[in-house]
């Protein structure tokens, strides 16, 4: 498997804030638009891009009719389209985020339902990949995580993680550095994270730190580097 190397990506911070927030199910528009509305350029862009879904009652009623998850997915499609074509589209395109929705569905049984952090990780990985494809001039370049191996490890853990995105990245590096069998045996034996971490090579530990730093800075979350608990 190709070594996982991540980069800093300038993500839309209002959208990132929403994905990290406790929003699920039938969300009141005020919880969303109190964050979006102050950015007038963003709000204007959303009004234009959601016009094909607007029944004349405005953007907030459109979000209420669509539901939070569907609205979230459509907003993500606008940013993906911008990354691909260089400008925001006139309407949303769900085909651009089908892979993000699938990514979230694959892992959602191991995270809480009150936030969109799995979707956030998928969103980041896609934009990072598009960014690197442009830099490398290679549209086939892919950023991959060890999904099947990470899912196997998650099945051995108990409970649901509030920050499943960070856990997925961490487990992906443990798989990459130690191998699936070694990691699985360590989890089954009940070894602590510190013991498993210490068994990694220095180079693999540095790579994990660098990638978590790239991701953490992209989503404007620095407390993961200040506290032990993730």
- Tens of pLDDT, residue by residue, the chain (230 residues): 678 889 999 999 999 999 999 877 678 889 999 999 999 999 999 999 999 999 998 999 999 999 999 999 999 999 999 999 999 999 999 999 999 999 999 998 887 677 899 999 999 999 999 999 988 777 778 898 888 889 988 888 766 778 899 999 999 999 999 998 999 888 888 888 888 999 999 999 999 999 999 999 999 987 665 544 44
Tell whether 98 is covered by a domain: yes
Number of domains making up the chain: 1
Whether residue 230 is contained in a domain is answered as no
Return d(Cα 119, Cα 52) in angstroms, integer. 24
4 belongs to a structural domain: no
For residue 88, being part of any structural domain is answered with yes
pTM for the complete prediction?
Answer: 0.92
Classify residue 5: in a domain, yes or no: no
8 within domain boundaries: no
Q: What integer pLDDT is reported at residue 25 of this predicted model?
A: 64
- Whether 153 maps to a domain, the answer reads yes
Q: Is residue 91 part of a domain?
A: yes
- Residue 196 to residues 82, 185, 188: CA-CA distances in angstroms? 41, 10, 12
Contact 201, 191 (CB under 8 A): no
Residue ranges making up the domain that contains 204: 13-225
Cβ neighbours, 10 Å, residue 55: 8
């Amino acid at each position: 498997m190709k070594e996982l190397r991540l980069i800093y990506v300038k993500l839309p911070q209002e959208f990132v804030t929403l994905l990290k927030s406790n929003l699920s199910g039938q969300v009141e528009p005020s919880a969303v638009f109190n964050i979006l509305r102050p950015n007038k350029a963003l709000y204007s862009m959303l009004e234009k891009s959601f016009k094909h879904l607007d029944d004349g009652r405005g953007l907030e009623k459109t979000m209420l009719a669509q539901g939070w998850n569907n609205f979230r997915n459509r907003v993500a499609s606008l940013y993906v389209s911008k990354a691909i074509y260089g400008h925001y589209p006139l309407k949303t395109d769900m085909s651009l985020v089908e892979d993000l929705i699938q990514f979230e569905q694959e892992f959602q049984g191991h995270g809480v339902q009150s936030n969109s952090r799995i979707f956030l990780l998928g969103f980041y990985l896609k934009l990072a990949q598009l960014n690197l494809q442009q830099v490398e001039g290679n549209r086939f370049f892919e950023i991959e995580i060890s999904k099947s191996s990470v899912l196997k490890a998650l099945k051995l853990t108990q409970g649901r993680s509030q920050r499943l995105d960070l856990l997925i990245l961490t487990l992906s590096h443990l798989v990459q550095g130690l191998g699936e069998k070694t990691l699985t045996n360590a989890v089954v034996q009940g070894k602590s994270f510190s013991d498993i971490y210490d068994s990694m090579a220095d180079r693999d530990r540095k790579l994990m730190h660098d990638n978590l730093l790239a991701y953490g800075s992209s989503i404007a979350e620095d407390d993961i580097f200040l506290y032990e608990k993730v």
